[in-house]
Amino acid sequence: MAEWVTTHLPALVILVPLTAAPLAFLLGGTLARPIALLSALLSQPLALALAFTVSAEGGVRYEIGGWGGPLGIDLVADGLAATLILVATVVGLGVTVYAWGYFADRERYRYFWPLWLFLWASLYALFLSGDLFNLYVCLELVSMAAVALVGLSLRRDALLAAMRYMLAAILGSLFYLLGVALVYAAFGSIDIATVREAVRADVTGQAAFALMTVGLMLKTALFPLHFWLPPAHSNAPSPVSAVLSALVVKGSFYILVRMWVDVADPSFVPGSAALLGVLGASAIVWGSVQAMRQERLKMLVAYSTVAQIGYLFLLFPLVAGGGAAAADAWVGGMFHAASHALAKAAMFLAAGTVLARFGHDRIAGLGGLSRRAPVTAMAFALAGVTMMGLPPSGGFVAKWQMIRAALESGAWWWAVVVVAGGLLAAVYIFRVVALFLGREGAEGEDADVDAGRSPATMEWATLALALAALALGVLGQPLVELIGVGAPALVAGVGP
């Protein structure tokens, strides 16, 4: 049995939520929640086992049904994939526990469970895909489930946000698919490992990479293609917002990393790394400034996502030169992806508790929250510590590594961007936290109606995710090692 599990591990990781999803749909009703929780719990040991197997063997390749390429589908896992799968698994469990309370008796949200499980399975499949076309299919699966989840409330604003998201997502996928077609024309394969060997300066190949990158930038909501993200992430039910900001944008980012760090390196298309870096820096400034100006908590958190996505794109100019700087940037970038996923999920879940409790999320009316919902206020503040990059959080390690990489490679201006971004985040987070700790605002009296109940499980799940983001900074060494397993040649030499 144990041997059978080990052999089929990559497939099992996907199959657990993929089996649970139709079951939650068909059996529905009261059974959907326990099915989802069971699936979430089963995923934990499987994701851990996959991480251990990848660490022990330096990587895993699995042929579904034994067909093999080029017509069969291969699942491939290296340190990068295993890391993101672990992150998705932990965030997924937190969100599932939270949603158990959040959607407790809301009949209108009964489709949350199957859609969430489909989304979860699609994310796993995406991280494990070994070829570019399978990545396209997974991207579409992730997007469809995500769009449906955004529109779940069937409210006017949610539907409009879902439609905008849908059109952007399909367009992004089409750009990507056109790029995949040209990759096949240029290099005769869509298998990532084969393309890696075949890649060479070639106009068709460069055009292919440019098209794929544009599509993925749109899907990752990189400034200035972020227009769809704030409405979609803030109008979705809060557990959905958490998943979208924490995990879904990382899906398309993951493909960009595969393309520009693993398959080719940024010199493949001259200027690409600098362009991605400049857009990332612009995203940090623009997203932070917009976050400061928001009046609703969920909009603030959504614009914070626009800003934090910017950090991810600093990875490309920082790894471009290779060497020790690239190794530091690699760890920094992946740590940022992991700690942002945990902290941002906690922030959106905290905002969701506020909404469930008070029936609104107007920031001005949230004064004194630390007395009315202490655990939630605490979780928000701790998540903020990671977002600002203060020690000892995972966000601190991420920013530290990026600054080190920038200084080592002599490109100090990226270090300035990282520091400035942390200060900007401090402004919009302290504004909220100060209110939480302060006296009840003018709106305090009438807002203090405690419109709904919020089970303790919601608050504790939120706090657990925020603490996990902090713990990454202290106990993150095993993750650093996992990120380095089978790392692309450009950033190899990542070590403890």
Partner 1 sequence: MTTFAGLSQTDLYALAGAALFVIGLYGLITRPHLLHKVLALNISSGGVFLVLVGIARRVPGPVPDPLPHAMVLTGIVVTVSSTAFALALAKSIYTETGHAVLEPDDLEETGEVSRG
Tell me which residues in 379-418 interact with partner 1 (CB under 8 A). none
The first and second tokens of residue 341, run together, are 């996923």
As measured in angstroms, the least distance from the Cβ of 163 to partner 1 is 5
As measured in angstroms, the least distance from the Cβ of 110 to partner 1 is 17
As measured in angstroms, the least distance from the Cβ of 492 to partner 1 is 31
Q: Any alpha helices (H) in 58-110, and if so which ranges?
A: 79-102
Q: Does 154 bind partner 1 (CB under 8 A)?
A: yes
Q: Does 110 bind partner 1 (CB under 8 A)?
A: no
Q: Does 25 bind partner 1 (CB under 8 A)?
A: no
Number of residues that bind partner 1 (CB under 8 A): 31
Residue 239, amino acid = P
User: What distances in angstroms separate CA 261 from CA 105, 155, 210, 270, 326, one per listed residue?
Assistant: 46, 41, 14, 14, 10
Residue 382, amino acid = L
Please count the other Cβ atoms lying within 10 Å of the Cβ belonging to residue 277. Answer: 23
User: What distances in angstroms separate CA 330 from CA 106, 388, 439, 476, 491, one per listed residue?
Assistant: 43, 20, 43, 14, 6
As measured in angstroms, the least distance from the Cβ of 244 to partner 1 is 17
57, 52, 53, 51: which is closest to 80 by C-alpha? 51
Instruction: Select 180 or 329, whichever has its Cβ closest to partner 1.
Output: 180
As measured in angstroms, the least distance from the Cβ of 380 to partner 1 is 31
As measured in angstroms, the least distance from the Cβ of 383 to partner 1 is 32
| Window contacting partner 1 (CB under 8 A); options: 36-44, 105-113, 145-153, 360-368 | 145-153
Q: Does 148 bind partner 1 (CB under 8 A)?
A: yes
28, 59, 70, 455: which one binds partner 1 (CB under 8 A): 70
Instruction: Select 144 or 289, whichever has its Cβ closest to partner 1.
Output: 144
As measured in angstroms, the least distance from the Cβ of 156 to partner 1 is 5
* 175, containing H or E segment: helix 156-187
As measured in angstroms, the least distance from the Cβ of 161 to partner 1 is 10
Non-local CB neighbours of 297 within 8 Å, separated by 6+ positions: 351, 354, 361, 362, 363, 366, 432
Q: Does 32 bind partner 1 (CB under 8 A)?
A: no
The first and second tokens of residue 88, run together, are 């998705």
333, 301, 303: which is closest to 317 by C-alpha? 333
Instruction: Select 255 or 284, whichever has its Cβ closest to partner 1.
Output: 255
Query: Would you call the peptide bond into 70 cis, given omega within 30 degrees of 0 as the criterion?
Result: yes
Instruction: Select 42 or 193, whichever has its Cβ closest to partner 1.
Output: 193
* 62, containing H or E segment: strand 60-63
| Window contacting partner 1 (CB under 8 A); options: 144-152, 310-318, 409-417, 449-457 | 144-152
| Window contacting partner 1 (CB under 8 A); options: 143-151, 376-384, 394-402, 481-489 | 143-151
As measured in angstroms, the least distance from the Cβ of 66 to partner 1 is 18
Instruction: Select 174 or 275, whichever has its Cβ closest to partner 1.
Output: 174
Rounded to an integer, what distance in angstroms lies between the CA atom of residue 234 and that of residue 217? 20
Non-local CB neighbours of 408 within 8 Å, separated by 6+ positions: 323, 324, 325, 328
Q: Does 473 bind partner 1 (CB under 8 A)?
A: no
Q: Does 229 bind partner 1 (CB under 8 A)?
A: no
As measured in angstroms, the least distance from the Cβ of 169 to partner 1 is 9
11, 144, 193, 471: which one binds partner 1 (CB under 8 A): 144
Tell me which residues in 112-141 interact with partner 1 (CB under 8 A). 133, 136-137, 140
Q: Does 151 bind partner 1 (CB under 8 A)?
A: yes
Residue 335, amino acid = F
As measured in angstroms, the least distance from the Cβ of 173 to partner 1 is 8
Q: At how many degrees (to 10) do helices 456-475 and 477-484 cross? A: 70
- Are 17 and 124 spatial neighbours (Cβ–Cβ below 8 Å)? yes
Rounded to an integer, what distance in angstroms lies between the CA atom of residue 80 and that of residue 82? 6
Tell me which residues in 157-216 interact with partner 1 (CB under 8 A). 159-160, 162-164, 166-167, 170-171, 174, 177-178, 180-182, 184-185, 190
| Window contacting partner 1 (CB under 8 A); options: 25-33, 50-58, 147-155, 333-341 | 147-155
What are the φ and ψ backbone dihedral angles of 362, each rounded to 5 degrees?
Answer: -70, 125
As measured in angstroms, the least distance from the Cβ of 413 to partner 1 is 34
Exposed, middle or buried: residue 252 (CB in 10 Å: 0-12, 13-18, 19+)? buried
Q: Does 286 bind partner 1 (CB under 8 A)?
A: no
Report helix, strand or coil for 129. Answer: strand
By CB under 8 A, name the binding residues for partner 1: 70-71, 133, 136-137, 140, 144, 147-148, 151, 154-156, 159-160, 162-164, 166-167, 170-171, 174, 177-178, 180-182, 184-185, 190
